[in-house]
Amino acid sequence: MFDPHLLNLSLEVETALRERRAVVALESTVIAHGLPRPQNLETARRLEEIVREGGATPATIAVIKGRLCVGLNDGQLVRLAEDKDVHKLSLRDLPIALARKWDGATTVSTTLWIASRARIQVFATGGIGGVHRGSLPDVSADLPELARTPMTVVCSGAKIVLDLPATREWLETHGVAVAGYECDELPAFYTRRSGLAVDVRADSPAEVAQLAQARDALGIESALLVAVPVPREFEVDEDLMRASLAESLDAAAREHVGGRELTPFLLARMSTRSGGATLRANIALLENNARVAALIARELSEAG
Ligand code: PSU
Ligand code: MN
């Protein structure tokens, strides 16, 4: 049984949850390992601001000295963004982080786990992890956690470095519904189209809320994935994207990069290769997803 005393809610988040106001969970691996300095700290602060502007309370999640923190202060954000010794915590690492009193950034899997125990209903991120390309089966812990957490997760699909068709199939097999937000195709992270269909289209926060409520009424325990395409003006040119991706995948294979290092390596390499275009897209989609998530969280909180 989970001991709720392990949760460390900020006063702001605790109050919002008690008063049943809208709360949006945000992950911290994107801050510590997904974006370069100084854009990582700027983005972390900006995402919280956007959630507030949307009328919801941001709850950035991380592990600080082994405590499961939901809602961080600015000093904690700075530590995550600037210190090199912050661990990247996948779910398997959580007991280790607790026992060893680590500081760690939470991936989608760990953020989902902690946010749902704090009774948060909506979570915004950039791109989820998934099935990696290549012959060795490398499947992100994000996927099984999505399959067993009844959360509304706002993202721009799975990161393009992954095998998107395989990731799409995995979600289907494990009962994770994918809604396209104002779109009919699963977005491909830095670009708006993947050629893969979503299960349903939702054209408003209210339509998303109805889907989440239907899932809850059925007692189904999997996440609802809400896929929001990167804003058009930040979409990365297809050819540039394909070239920088191919080069980055080659470099990872050549340098034997694997495990938890792989995703950050590929994202950083693509940003360099694309002259920063993928980084600008990543930040734009994170901001947009936070905005959409706040609207959905408000809709859900008003529906009670
Ligand atoms: N989305 C981004 N940048 C990131 C990530 C997602 O725009 O850095 C992170 C998320 O925290 C996700 C993790 O859970 O990458 C997946 O890592 P892996 O493939 O090692 O499971
Ligand atoms: Mn992996």
* Predicted confidence (pLDDT) per residue in 50-89, tens digit: 999 999 999 999 999 999 999 999 999 999 999 999 999 9
Residues whose beta carbons lie less than 5 angstroms from ion ligand 2: 138
Which DSSP category does 162 fall into?
A: B
Give residues (CB < 6 A) around ligand 1.
Answer: 27, 29-30, 33-34, 107-108, 125-127, 129, 140-142, 159, 260, 263, 282
Q: How far apart are CA 304 and CA 88, in angstroms?
A: 35
Structure tokens at 236: 């990365």
Looking at the predicted structure, is the pLDDT value of residue 200 above 90? Answer: yes
Mean pLDDT value of segment 127-136: 91
Structure tokens at 102: 């680590």
Structural contact between residues 118 and 57, judged by C-beta atoms closer than 8 angstroms? no
Band of residue 137 on the pLDDT scale cut at 50, 70, 90 = confident
Q: Which residues contact 292 (CB under 8 A, 6 or more apart)?
A: 124, 154, 181, 205, 226, 228
Mean pLDDT value of segment 187-195: 97
Looking at the predicted structure, is the pLDDT value of residue 210 above 80? Answer: yes
pLDDT in tens, 17-59: 999 999 999 999 999 999 999 999 999 999 999 999 999 999 9
Atom 20 of ligand 1 has which residue's CA nearest to it? 260
pLDDT in tens, 141-178: 999 999 999 999 999 999 999 999 999 999 999 999 99
**pLDDT at residue number 303:** 86
Looking at the predicted structure, is the pLDDT value of residue 304 above 80? Answer: no
Indicate the SS3 state at residue 188: strand
**Fold entry, domain 4-303:** Indigoidine synthase fold (3.40.1790)
Which H or E element spans position 181?
strand 177-181
Residue 159 CA to ligand 2 centre (angstroms): 13
Mean pLDDT value of segment 236-261: 95
Catalytic residue among 48, 88, 145, 159: 159
Q: Which residues contact 111 (CB under 8 A, 6 or more apart)?
A: 25, 26, 27, 28, 29, 61, 123, 125
Mean pLDDT value of segment 90-107: 98
Least Cα distance to 154 among 291, 62, 302, 279 occurs for 291
Strands 67-70 and 7-9: parallel
Mean predicted lDDT score pLDDT of the chain: 97
Q: Which residues pair with 131 in a beta bridge?
A: 139
Atom 10 of ligand 1 has which residue's CA nearest to it? 107
Strands 87-89 and 104-106: parallel
DSSP string, 96-158: HHHHHT--EEE-HHHHHHHHHHTT--EEE-S-B--BBSSSS--B-THHHHHHT---EEEESSB
For the chain, give every domain's residue range.
4-303
pTM above 0.95, yes or no: yes
pLDDT in tens, 249-303: 999 999 999 999 999 999 999 999 999 999 999 999 999 999 999 999 999 999 8
Atom number, ligand 1, closest to the C-alpha of residue 106: 11
Mean pLDDT value of segment 180-205: 97
Which H or E element spans position 180?
strand 177-181
